[in-house]
């Protein structure tokens, strides 16, 4: 969605700004990317479960998520090594 050529007013009758529309477009892209990422992950889980069984799928994807939780966490300030070192 592009920024409208004539910026509309909001529900309170105030003029919207180009910056608001730019932020909206960025937020919308981030939201769509988040939803698409979740859809792709769900499809991976379902495909794996269909071919390997639900218990094996549960173990594998819980392990993946636990690993991401610890290894992809932000480093504490002043910490000189990455979490995945």
**Do the beta carbons of residue 61 and residue 48 sit within 8 Å?**
yes
Of 36 and 10, the one with more pLDDT: 36
Q: What is the C-alpha R_g of the chain?
A: 21
SS3 of residue 7 by DSSP: coil
Predicted pLDDT of residue 74:
74
DSSP state, residue 76: P
Task: Please count the other Cβ atoms lying within 10 Å of the Cβ belonging to residue 41.
Answer: 13
Residue 15, pLDDT above cutoff 70: yes
Whole-model pTM?
0.68
pLDDT digits (tens, 9 = 90+) for 21-73: 899 999 999 999 999 999 999 999 999 999 999 999 999 999 999 998 888 77
The enclosing H or E element of 38 equals helix 18-52
């Amino acid at each position: 969605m592009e920024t409208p050529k004539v910026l509309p007013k909001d529900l309170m009758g105030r003029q919207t700004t180009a910056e608001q529309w730019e932020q909206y477009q960025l937020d919308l892209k981030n939201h769509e990317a988040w939803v698409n990422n979740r859809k792709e992950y769900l499809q991976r889980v379902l495909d794996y479960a269909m071919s390997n069984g639900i218990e094996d799928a549960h173990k594998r994807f819980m392990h993946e998520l636990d690993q991401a939780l610890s290894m992809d966490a932000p480093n504490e300030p002043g910490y000189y090594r990455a979490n995945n070192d």
